[in-house]
Amino acid sequence: MKSLVVMEGSFLTKMLILMVLLLATFTTLALGEGYGRGKKGTQVGFYRATCPKVEFIVQSAVRSAVKANPTIAPGILRMFFHDCFVKGCDASILINGASTEKSAGPNSLLRGFEVIDAAKSRLEATCPGVVSCADILALAARDSVVLTGGRSWQVPLGRRDGLVSRASDTASLPAFNDPISVQIKKFADKGLNTQDLVTLVGGHTIGTAACGVFSYRLYNFNNTNGPDPDINPAFLPQLRALCPNGGDGSRRVDLDTGSVDRFGNSFYENLRKGRGVIESDAKLWSDRRTQKFVQGFLGSGGQPALRFNYEFGRAMVKMGNTEVKTGRQGEIRRVCTATN
């Protein structure tokens, strides 16, 4: 009888271990589309053995920069977005040159390049020739969100740096006046769906836009000699005061009124109220294809905010694996501003 009890106990123990292993397997598979292992060779913990301090070093560089200048956070976030939308997330946006992506109009106002360079310099001193600039940028984008109040996520790593950077390729970037159909198409071309579109544009909860990008909406929208009807009439005088007709086009205006330095879901509430600053953002509420996803993020605190933070991390991981270069498809640059 005693041996039977021992056998039964052993059997139950083995079954328990098996169940734990199966649960771990299913969890890993589930994370593959979200916060864990990425696609095409990227994975969480890629540098665990070769450069274990990589995340600490990048975060330290970003934290110092954002503390000195909060506008660096949205700058780095946009930089990652603009990099991924042009031939994939390969740090091609960091390369200097007269005809590179960095020199193109859509990228002319980006900021934070020096932060990526600083992180790269520290990493080269710690583990030379190991960490790609593309991975540094992916980590820095995540850290920029976290440092402004957003939720963290695991970043799959293992990207290689691209060898080509052309200003002409930036035509694929979403534009400030793109209709919803064009926005959906540009995101779909990168393997991102309409929900991803609405989620990722939520990154506009931090940062600003120049008056020159949207002032046409305030005075002569579509040659009507009047404002864009999507603008709340009560919000219009505020925008006109900030951007007078014929005034300084370089003046900056908060994309998410009241939340320029704080990451959260208030951006969507402003869209619902007709307080979207740039035209492509405002259209997310006026078009039924995107409005339903905006509605899912509406509300103050609680579940809507949690839902947005979770979905934003998931969408960033998905975008971060766009056309990723691994293995012999790229290189590990010595400096981020030039190919080897």
For the domain that residue 154 is a member of, what is the CATH number? Answer: 1.10.520.10
Find out whether 174 is annotated in a ligand binding site. Answer: yes
pTM: 0.86
Do the Cβ atoms of 132 and 91 come closer than 8 Å? yes
In angstroms, rounded to a whole number, what is the distance separating the alpha carbons of residues 11 and 3?
12
pLDDT in tens, the chain (340 residues): 333 333 334 444 444 343 433 333 333 333 333 344 444 579 999 999 999 999 999 999 999 999 999 999 999 999 999 999 999 999 999 999 999 999 999 998 899 999 999 999 999 999 999 999 999 999 999 999 999 999 999 999 999 999 999 999 999 899 999 999 999 999 999 999 999 999 999 999 999 999 999 999 999 999 999 999 999 999 999 999 999 999 999 999 999 998 888 999 999 999 999 999 999 999 999 999 999 999 999 976 678 889 999 999 999 999 999 899 877 889 999 999 999 9
Estimate the crossing angle of helix 72-84 against helix 133-147, to 10 degrees: 140
Say if residue 89 is in the same domain as residue 158. Answer: yes
Find out whether 88 is annotated in a ligand binding site. Answer: yes
Q: Find the Cα–Cα–Cα–Cα dihedral 282, 287, 293, 294, rounded to 10°.
A: 30
Say if residue 301 is in the same domain as residue 240. Answer: yes
Catalytic pick among 65, 73, 79, 82:
82
Where helices occur in 32-152 by DSSP H, the ranges are 54-68, 72-84, 113-126, 133-147
Find out whether 237 is annotated in a ligand binding site. Answer: no
Question: What range does the domain containing 74 cover?
Answer: 54-173+321-329
In angstroms, rounded to a whole number, what is the distance separating the alpha carbons of residues 308 and 264?
8
Residue with tokens 């020159």: 212
Strand, helix or coil at 43? strand
Say if residue 309 is in the same domain as residue 198. Answer: yes
Say if residue 188 is in the same domain as residue 272. Answer: yes
How distant is the alpha carbon of residue 153 from its chain centre? 12
H/E segment holding residue 209: strand 208-210
Find out whether 196 is annotated in a ligand binding site. Answer: no
Say if residue 107 is in the same domain as residue 203. Answer: no
Interior angle at CA 75, CA 221 and CA 90, nearest 5: 110
Find out whether 261 is annotated in a ligand binding site. Answer: no
Say if residue 202 is in the same domain as residue 214. Answer: yes
Number of domains in the chain: 2
In angstroms, rounded to a whole number, what is the distance separating the alpha carbons of residues 59 and 123?
12
In angstroms, rounded to a whole number, what is the distance separating the alpha carbons of residues 120 and 125?
9
Amino acid at site 339 = T
Residue 334 domain-assigned (yes or no)? no
Query: Catalytic residue at 82?
Result: yes
Residue 34 domain-assigned (yes or no)? no
